[in-house]
Amino acid sequence: MNMEILSGPGRNTIRGLILYITILIAIFTSGCTTPGSVVTGNKNQGNTQAAEQSETAINVSNFSAKQVITVTYNDATDSESTIIYTPTTRTLKDGASLMGWSYSTDGGDSWSYGGKVTPPSGWAAIWGDPAITRSHLNQRYVFISNLAIPSSMYPEGGISGPVNNYIGGACIARSTDGGVSFKNYQCIHDNHHFYDGGSMAPDTDGSIYVAYVDVDEDQIDVWRSPGVDGTFTLMPTPFSGIKMLSHPRLRFDAVSGDLYLASQQWNGEVLVTRFHKGAWSEPVVASHAAPIYPSFQLSDRKLRTGPQFSFDVGAASIHGNDAVRFVYTHKDEKSGRYYIRGSICPRDLSGCKDVPEWGTTPGNLNITGDQFNPIVRAFPGFLTIPPVWKVSYQSRQNNPKGNQVAIYKGNLVVLPNGTRVFVPFKLIDDQLVCGDNRGYWGDYDDMQLQGFSDSLNAIFIRAFTDSRKGCDYQWQYTSHHHHVSAALVK
């Protein structure tokens, strides 16, 4: 499971410089920030302005000549009777749910609050870590997932403080109208083991997949439904005999017909495997060690984070061997700074290689402060529409000793001479971190392809936690304000 180290091609030739400038002009044409659009927190969006929303997953469904964009998130709206906060603790009552969502039918310009899914019979609470996907064959069908607490594990009188000891599976809800409304579909568990995280993906045959980390077994569980009306059943173990610790990530590749799965093993390295011809392949190392859920100490508060890697499968460059691309967080031991770094694999995962040029690696761009929480998404191209690899991440570079973070964007580019280029631009201006006293502000976010510009360039949409209304208070298990916004990424 060794990963080769790829040294970067030389950049000092005149030809390389000309190509570099040409790519910048052609591709990086949008360097301006955007305020984005408010997903939750406005007065016309239910009661979301009085509660907190954070930690996002996003889906885009196109069907019947219309588009529905759905953002699902951890949602405390209308939970006063089931989730009771004080400055020092939190009490969870039977019937609590964090499975909320909002939707847009105008390309992400405006958003409506969809509501929340309540726990079905036999389950006491639905408890966050959102994941979402839609059917490849019929995009009217959208599925969302949250962790869940079974009634059999729920103590009489409620749960005070942490809930980890009571989570025993996950619940899945389904939409038949593209993500406008959802109803309970199926709750799943493996002997009520503690599940964490969640990731979903469809395949071209109509199957739906969902994966979690089984914390009790230090393993990844993957479930499959054979169709939009099927039953989710547990698949064979993908990382047998290896101690896996982080939230998993699923991606499906229409070219090979394979399902790809990545997660972090015990030492922080990202391992990747694929479900190929009915079996999981031998896992391979896809990156150097990434920190597992690091917390960042800001000037007077901390910021808790989630999985520090992302990957996708898309178009390979003309040089090949990079159809699977990773971005991950790495630590510079000399400076103590965290930064974004890249790596690549061919579709068959034979020989993954490190690509430090794709990121904010020390020496590349002379960026200061920490960069973390990376997301990468690919559009594989279609006819005359070129492929693109879009990256987004959070950064403290403008305020490295303060309490603010910004969101940046960039493309993973390969020049004709093989030089790899990454040039980031600010997407969302610095905003104050308003996490609770544990540092929780939403552990992860998501980004998906939204559509195309008039010049046929791919446009993505990214959701994020938004505290720009101010930080009125920070309690042990909640804070105010934090809501959700979304921005187009061009």
- Strand pairing category for 447-452 and 337-345: unpaired
Looking at residue 92, its amino acid is L
pTM (two decimals): 0.94
- pLDDT(262) > 90: yes
Q: Is 247 exposed, middle or buried (0-12, 13-18, 19+ CB in 10 A)?
A: buried
97: number of Cβ within 10 Å: 25
Q: Count up the domains in the chain and report the number.
A: 1
Asked if pLDDT for residue 1 goes beyond 60, the answer is no
Residue 263 is encoded by which pair of tokens?
């997660």
pLDDT of residue 319: 84
Residue-level pLDDT at 12: 38
Instruction: Summarize pLDDT for 325-336 with one digit per residue, the tens.
Output: 999 999 999 999
Mean pLDDT computed over 455-470: 96
Give the pLDDT band (50/70/90) at residue 26.
very low
Whether 135 and 102 have beta carbons less than 8 Å apart is answered as: no
Residue 10 has pLDDT above 50, yes or no: no
| Cis amide leading into 481 (omega within 30) | yes
**With 90 as the cut, is the pLDDT of residue 21 above it?**
no
Res. 118: pLDDT tops 60 = yes
Residue range 337-366: mean pLDDT, rounded: 95
Which pLDDT tens digit goes with each residue over 123-168? 999 999 999 999 999 999 999 999 999 999 999 999 999 999 999 9
Using the predicted structure, report yes or no on whether residue 20 has a pLDDT greater than 70: no
Reported confidence tier of residue 172, pLDDT bands at 50, 70, 90 = very high
Res 240: pLDDT: 95
The answer to whether the beta carbons of residues 51 and 78 sit under 8 Å apart is yes
Q: Check residues 305 and 1 and name the one with the higher pLDDT.
A: 305
Q: What is the mean pLDDT of the chain?
A: 93
Q: Give the model's pLDDT for residue 25.
A: 44
Question: Which range marks the domain in which residue 478 is found?
Answer: 4-489
Environment class of 122 (CB within 10 Å of its CB; exposed 0-12, middle 13-18, buried 19+): exposed
Which pLDDT belongs to residue 28? 46
Tell me: pLDDT of 242 over 70: yes
Q: Is 386 exposed, middle or buried (0-12, 13-18, 19+ CB in 10 A)?
A: middle
Q: What is the CATH number of the domain that holds 146?
A: 2.120.10.10
**387/24: higher pLDDT:** 387
- Residue 210, Cβ neighbours under 10 Å: how many? 25
pLDDT of residue 320: 86
366 pLDDT band (50/70/90 cuts)?
Answer: confident
Averaged pLDDT, 96-115: 98
Higher pLDDT, 432 or 21: 432
Percentage above 70 pLDDT, the chain: 94
What pLDDT, on a 0 to 100 scale, did the predictor assign at position 32?
A: 81
Interacting residues of 363 by C-beta distance below 8 A, sequence separation 6+: none
Q: Are 36 and 107 in contact (CB under 8 A)?
A: no
With a cut of 90, say whether residue 349 has pLDDT above it: yes
Task: Count Cβ neighbours within 10 Å for each residue of 44-81 and write b for 16 or more, e otherwise.
Answer: ebbebbebbbbbbbbbbbeeeeebbbbbbbbbbbbbee
Q: 16 pLDDT exceeds 60?
A: no
